[in-house]
Every structure is written in structure tokens, then in C-alpha cells.
Amino acid sequence: MECMRLQNYCQMTDPPCQGPIDAKMCKVLNDNTIQKFSSIFISADGPPGE
């Protein structure tokens, strides 16, 4: 298997590697920001308090 950019990996629906990448990491890369993971909510996580 060849190496690939993490941004490309995040866009794949069926990545070739075992084990998921935390969707929060993909969000930080896509937003081009530095954020605390605790402040990021992905739709699958639901809003805080749910």
C-alpha cells in the first residue's frame, strides 16, 4: 500500500487501512485550524449534553 495525504484519506468513504481516523482530526485539517478536540462536535457525536 502506498502512502497518502491524510486529507485524501479523510475524504474516502472506504479507506484502505484498518482502523478509523478520528473524524475530529479530519475536521481540524479541513477547517485549517487548531482546536481542542473537546470543542469539536461531529454530527455522529450529537451536540453536548445529549
Query: Rounded to whole angstroms, how far apart are CA atoms 10 and 27?
Result: 9
The domains of the chain are located at 6-39
Query: Rounded to whole angstroms, how far apart are CA atoms 23 and 9?
Result: 11
Output the tens digit of pLDDT for each of the chain's 50 residues.
Answer: 578 788 888 888 777 776 677 888 888 888 888 888 888 887 764 444 44
pTM for the whole thing?
0.58
Q: What's residue 1's pLDDT?
A: 59
